[in-house]
């Protein structure tokens, strides 16, 4: 018998308006009620498990069309196989603090990245302790997926930028939000990752 899931409260998305030029970003977050202090999640081991689950979740929800390929000092999100690299990320960077921890993937390049956006943006998974409770008590963790300084190729430029901004906002940005919110729900439902 599976253990019941954890309580998750999804927070409103923080979305940058899609501009015709420049970078954009978004944050999807949720607060997770835990049967123990949230500080237990603030380590590299948990972040590594959560990161691996995020990439597996992406493959599952895309029915295997999108996958993650690891090679040396980077990883790539590909459509079916190389050379269709949608996003290429540098090696993950971990930050550990007493009340929060994160893993960040710097966006190097890819078909979804505009030329002027190479090596500028990032994707970050952060876990933060919402309340510092005594050992043995219940706790609340904030799980957050953030994209910052992203320059989408789909937005285009010049006369196309107005339509491109609308197109990006109604396709790629929505898909990212849907996948990320689904991942946060999966983390709460599948306690084995927590």
Burial class (CB in 10 A: 0-12, 13-18, 19+), 3: exposed
Using the predicted structure, report yes or no on whether residue 92 has a pLDDT greater than 90: yes
pLDDT at 1: 37
CB contact burial 54-76 (16+ within 10 A = b; e otherwise): bbebbeebeeeebbbeeeeebbb
| For the chain, the helix, strand and coil percentages under 3-state DSSP, each to the nearest 5 | 30, 35, 30
In the chain, the N- to C-terminal Cα span, in Å, equals 17
Quick: pLDDT tens for 13-49: 888 788 878 888 899 999 988 877 787 788 899 899 8
The CA distance from 50 to 184, in Å, is 10
Quick: pLDDT tens for 134-162: 555 678 889 999 999 999 898 888 888 88
**107 confidence band (pLDDT: 50, 70, 90):** very high
């Amino acid at each position: 018998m599976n253990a019941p899931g954890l309580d998750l409260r999804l927070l409103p998305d923080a979305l940058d308006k899609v501009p015709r030029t420049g970078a954009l970003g978004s944050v999807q977050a949720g607060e997770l009620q835990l049967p123990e202090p949230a500080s237990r999640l603030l380590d590299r081991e948990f972040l590594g498990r959560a990161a691996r689950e995020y990439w597996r979740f992406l493959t599952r929800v895309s029915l295997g069309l999108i996958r993650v390929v690891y090679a040396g000092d980077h990883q790539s999100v590909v459509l079916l196989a190389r050379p269709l690299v949608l996003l290429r990320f540098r090696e993950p960077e971990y930050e550990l603090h007493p009340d929060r921890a994160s893993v960040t993937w710097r966006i190097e390049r890819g078909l979804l990245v505009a030329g002027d956006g190479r090596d500028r943006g990032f994707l970050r998974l952060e876990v933060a302790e919402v309340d510092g409770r005594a050992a043995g008590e219940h706790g609340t963790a904030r799980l957050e997926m953030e994209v910052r300084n992203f320059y989408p190729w789909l937005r285009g430029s010049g006369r196309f930028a107005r339509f491109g901004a609308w197109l990006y906002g109604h396709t790629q940005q929505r898909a990212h939000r849907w996948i990320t919110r689904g991942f946060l729900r999966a983390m709460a439902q599948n306690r084995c990752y927590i």
